Structure 1
């Protein structure tokens, strides 16, 4: 019997309180509009008080500049367009998104997922689900809709409990959302925001690119994938068997749950999908894989050749080079080429005119982010221009030093804070804009690379999002669960997610600790400390 049929427990009441508190948060656009005005007021007060701040290593102090002054209003009215269009994530995310949309909408990414899951032996299925789930953030939010039902189908076909596949697929995709062995649009998004908040620092450290956390992501994705498989195999599935959870779908989702999901956020509708590939899909995937391999080989030869124009003047690639600046193009090409080939071979694309239409669908899906980016761009620009960020960073760094928290304990505290905020703000871009504006400069003044702090943020940003009612995809999962257990409720789903949250957080933090204490680079050219 599911926990939904029993009286409310203390945990259920606590989670209900979290839901009520989270529901009181305004829409992200309104939230950042309020923060923009708040920073504007604070900056004006500090300006009138003659506040100055001297950054470590800087020769001259910086005066705080107020928004609601003649200089501030002039700055804002003449730069509002530049603040929006110049918001770094727009340049990288939208470019990569065009190619990823083609790979996703033509079915190439979905075919790869189904092929990997369908070919795994019965004993390895939980670990295959872990690998696919952790890697699937390349599909953005769609991974939390596509992976769970596919995993359930494959589990059932192998004679294992489908609910274990359903729950495990969602947990791996959601709790490990921002780590992947593949470079994704999320990497580009985070990198753009990180660079935008280091403006003006005397030593901003290495420029953050979409591959600045790559080594860390690869290591973390392996650990989390194996851990997800272990939890599915040893914890979730045995529990489903003990509780007698049905293995067959017994009822359709009721209208109440549908209403809850619809009012909890805009989510894409899950469509039925077979766990096996059709002949055209197999043919399309094979040809696309060969084209991808060939393209990767050509790019490797062109960029790694001794006389390559993508090398820096010293003949290398680190710390900076045209190769690192070409990451967006490389990711774009490696997603677009197989997506196009698969689409035309498998028949999901008919004519060349279909390609821009498919790309347009991706931009349409990102329209809400583009609108939000307008407000995020204004907020970040004001934070940098006013020097309020510098005041907070210097005083915050002094506070941590005074409390003796200048090493890894300070980083752990930052991750805990992000995990708690993630219960209320599930949008990674919104939360990173909010906390990054303060903590990236603050930790930079303590000597930490912005790319390292970005990696620490990933831990707090993802692990807890599978247990917060603020995640609209949790309600989509609840609809899927109700097909097997009509009496299931939100407490049912959250209770089955909890076995993943703490192990994921601890394991991910453990990987970060290894990188920290061993002094390993987080990615090409990005270490732990600013040299």
Structure 2
């Protein structure tokens, strides 16, 4: 243990944590970042910083030349924006509604005892050697449910680890690595696939009008990536993160006790309720003209009512079995107990709401000033001017995407800027747009977990502080850096192997044109 702590890498991580945690409270840090963005935006606006690129509208998928210039937050219009948009920035902050609505259902399931009993059942029935793998794998697969993994699975990962006497932050990190670091790995098509494919198709038309990228174009690579990321995530958790965290000495420990007869009855009721709920959801989505399908296209994924209501569905997925469990286990005596469960869940979110308010302003300012777009286009121009070829060019593109992702979180927004530049450029070099999209997705995923600009980063910081009051941004980043590095290296190696093997990356999708 001591020898490992003396290694250069561990000293680096310790340094990141010390520097990060000596910084002010995360709320103060985001406030300072807001000031920095304002100053930088004013300087770039005064110097006339402008970028021009062939862009794609992520909603209409239409391409065209776009000119973007830096916008100041310190001129009269910018100052008015700061004052008039504060409330809207907060209320429209994507994680805010997701977290609060989901917690209504999760709160009831937690208060009645369903979550703790289910986790004890999982712990008692799952070999301890497989718990890490299960947590990371579940995180990767949660992407099919949009952002629900951030709200539900990440805190559950901490609870599961605490239940078996392991460090809860290691469980939180393992789940976060799967959910966010493994964002582009899955066994199934998710909501992001049709969106990226549409942008890639329009970008490809700038070079050849007969090329079309489908939502399944990266499926084979994604399936293999799921197992690679799961294995890498488990390795980093057990060999790097947990040894570095050491023994957990906090108060949030879980004692795994046998399931009582009342709890068994509660689980039985919850299982029946869950089956009935799933049947109801199937009836609302499976038939050709189902209510939650897209009325125009009939699709379930994409912008269908089903996907647009996924957060409420997740809340009900916990609420309905939670109530059923409470009735069966006799932890619910009246409707007041249900409301109390929801209220208790909301009462724990106070510190998160404060953090979310300031973080939402920072994200909104970055978007308003166009600094993220300028960084993306400048980086793309630099890579294009480097004159690289073959797999070296692709790997540099992965690194560039990973870097830009630190400043611009939205996968679709970045791709709308980068696709019209790189898809035609790589097509001219002989690469199919599907392969360029794969390379982009690797870079886009691997640095999610260390980017404060990622929408849910503030949420994870709040979750971590529950188990370690002294933890901060430095603790989280230093914990997640090993995942980011190993994922980037491992995924790049897989890409190199795929490249030289010449395997198809999806149904009808090849590496080369």
Deviations 1:287-345 (A, max 9, x none): 10121111111111221212223222133335432222222222122121112211232
Are 1:47 and 2:27 an aligned pair? no
Partner of 1:67: 73
Q: Do the aligned partners of 2:262 and 2:330 also contact (CA within 8 Å) in 1?
A: yes
Partner of 1:445: 417
Partner of 2:2: 3
Are 1:95 and 2:101 an aligned pair? yes
Partner of 2:303: 320
Q: Do the aligned partners of 2:408 and 2:414 also contact (CA within 8 Å) in 1?
A: no
Per the TM alignment, residue 34 of structure 1 is displaced from its structure 2 partner at its CA by 1.8
Q: Determine the C-alpha separation between the residues in 2 that align with 1:458 and 1:151.
A: 29
Moved more, 278-287 or 404-413: 404-413
Q: Secondary structure at the match of 1:174?
A: helix
The correspondence for 2:256, drawn from 262, 274, 284, is: 274
What does 1:21-420 align with in structure 2 at a 5 Å threshold?
21-56=19-54, 57-59=63-65, 61-120=67-126, 124-128=127-131, 130-132=133-135, 135=138, 139=152, 142-143=155-156, 145-152=158-165, 166=166, 171=170, 173-179=172-178, 269-312=251-294, 313-403=296-386, 404=388, 407-412=394-399, 414-415=401-402
Q: Determine the C-alpha separation between the residues in 1 that align with 2:83 and 2:339.
A: 35
Per the TM alignment, residue 367 of structure 1 is displaced from its structure 2 partner at its CA by 2.2
Per the TM alignment, residue 174 of structure 1 is displaced from its structure 2 partner at its CA by 2.3
Q: Do the aligned partners of 2:50 and 2:69 also contact (CA within 8 Å) in 1?
A: yes
Q: Do the aligned partners of 2:327 and 2:333 also contact (CA within 8 Å) in 1?
A: yes
1:388/1:180 Cα in 2 relative to 1: closer, same or farther (>3 Å)? closer
Q: Determine the C-alpha separation between the residues in 2 that align with 1:515 and 1:111.
A: 43
Per the TM alignment, residue 441 of structure 1 is displaced from its structure 2 partner at its CA by 4.4
1:393/1:528 Cα in 2 relative to 1: closer, same or farther (>3 Å)? farther
Moved more, 214-223 or 272-281: 214-223
Q: Determine the C-alpha separation between the residues in 2 that align with 1:501 and 1:314.
A: 38
Q: Determine the C-alpha separation between the residues in 1 that align with 2:122 and 2:351.
A: 32
Q: Do the aligned partners of 2:442 and 2:491 also contact (CA within 8 Å) in 1?
A: no
Deviations 1:416-451 (A, max 9, x none): x69xxxxxxxxxxxxx8x633598745432218999
Q: Do the aligned partners of 1:134 and 1:172 also contact (CA within 8 Å) in 2?
A: no
Partner of 2:408: 436
Per the normalisation by structure 2, the TM-score is: 0.65
Q: Determine the C-alpha separation between the residues in 2 that align with 1:323 and 1:7.
A: 48
Partner of 2:473: none
Q: Determine the C-alpha separation between the residues in 1 that align with 2:262 and 2:497.
A: 45
Report the count of equivalent residues.
Answer: 418
Identify unmatched segments of 5+ residues in structure 1.
Answer: 153-165, 185-190, 193-202, 206-212, 241-252, 262-268, 419-431, 465-469, 478-493, 522-526
Moved more, 215-224 or 367-376: 215-224
1:290/1:375 Cα in 2 relative to 1: closer, same or farther (>3 Å)? same
Partner of 2:196: none
Q: Secondary structure at the match of 1:61?
A: strand
Per the TM alignment, residue 110 of structure 1 is displaced from its structure 2 partner at its CA by 2.4
Q: Do the aligned partners of 1:129 and 1:172 also contact (CA within 8 Å) in 2?
A: yes
1:350/1:402 Cα in 2 relative to 1: closer, same or farther (>3 Å)? farther
Partner of 1:524: none
Deviations 1:507-530 (A, max 9, x none): 566778899985459xxxxx999x
Identify unmatched segments of 5+ residues in structure 2.
Answer: 55-62, 140-148, 184-189, 192-201, 205-217, 424-435, 452-460, 469-477
Cα RMSD after superposing both structures: 5.0
Q: Do the aligned partners of 2:105 and 2:316 also contact (CA within 8 Å) in 1?
A: yes
Q: Do the aligned partners of 1:80 and 1:378 also contact (CA within 8 Å) in 2?
A: yes
Deviations 1:341-390 (A, max 9, x none): 11232233332112222222322333222212212222222222223333
Q: Secondary structure at the match of 2:270?
A: helix
1:383/1:139 Cα in 2 relative to 1: closer, same or farther (>3 Å)? closer
Q: Determine the C-alpha separation between the residues in 1 that align with 2:38 and 2:343.
A: 36
Moved more, 443-452 or 169-178: 443-452
Q: Determine the C-alpha separation between the residues in 2 that align with 1:95 and 1:287.
A: 24
Q: Do the aligned partners of 1:55 and 1:390 also contact (CA within 8 Å) in 2?
A: no
Q: Determine the C-alpha separation between the residues in 1 that align with 2:68 and 2:362.
A: 19
Q: Secondary structure at the match of 2:353?
A: helix
Moved more, 274-283 or 287-296: 274-283
Q: Do the aligned partners of 2:109 and 2:321 also contact (CA within 8 Å) in 1?
A: yes
1:65/1:149 Cα in 2 relative to 1: closer, same or farther (>3 Å)? closer
Q: Determine the C-alpha separation between the residues in 1 that align with 2:71 and 2:510.
A: 32
